[in-house]
Amino acid sequence: MSFHGTTHRHDGDGYTGRKNSTEESSVLLGSPHSPDEVDYKRQQWPLLLIVIVVVETLILIILGSGIVYLLSKSSSQFPSNAVFSPAQNVIRYKNIAFSPSFKPHLTRYQGPPSPETDDAWRELYNYPISRIDRKDASKIANRTVPIPGDPDHYAVSIDVFHQLHCLQMLRKRAWYAEGYEFDREMMNIDHIDHCIDSIRQSLMCSADVTPLTWAWDEEDQRLEPVAAITHTCRDFDAVREWARENIVREFDTSVHVEPGV
């Protein structure tokens, strides 16, 4: 049987000259290894590397910021609704085992008044007035006065030093019963009464909830509370260092100054 009008061309290898569909597609689309495509890929590599570097940098920045935030939050944990303090950024917490404060475990702050013990106490609270700038002064709950002669800074007293000062006066007044003298003008009964109630309010404000444990005392033959207990405390040294850096050396209380911001 013959087919008219149909011409078949054969190549030398026995295959017909008709190209298959794969070859046609390859010709139409171009070879996957064509020079144009290779050049295009070479041009894209620098851009791709830049994108990768930028993305990795952003990820590292986000992770780093998150770590810094978590560390600062866990170390200070200053409540968001707390009354502002210019020293709140230095607040840190650490665990401290309290001394039982009975013989033979006495601290340097115990014992009768003497130059040594008095100096130790003064080192705790001898920061009566601190200097803050206008920005911080505008954030505190109660208005305060600018420092006489230094109108760009304002005066505040950090309360822990006031409480320690009061406690020192109570200490000296208590030792008076043992025959030691005290400053009668400074430590008059009204001032002492003020100090007692001020410390009461401070203790109730802080409300230390550290559990005191009980143990059997062989000498007394009874159960007694254990005083040498570990507490989670604000880092007093950090607060004192802030006060040392911001102390007001001269403060003329005779100058009439109105509260500022």
- Walk along the chain (261 residues) and give the pLDDT tens digit of each residue: 444 444 444 444 443 444 444 444 444 444 455 556 556 556 666 777 777 777 777 787 777 666 655 555 544 566 778 899 999 999 999 999 999 998 999 999 999 999 999 999 999 999 999 999 999 999 999 999 999 999 999 999 999 999 999 999 999 999 988 888 878 888 899 999 999 999 999 999 999 999 999 999 999 999 999 989 999 999 999 999 999 999 999 999 999 989 887
Taking alpha carbons only, the member of 244, 236, 239, 241 closest to residue 94 is 236
Model-level pTM?
Answer: 0.69
Asked if 250 and 128 count as a contact pair (C-beta separation under 8 A), the reply is no
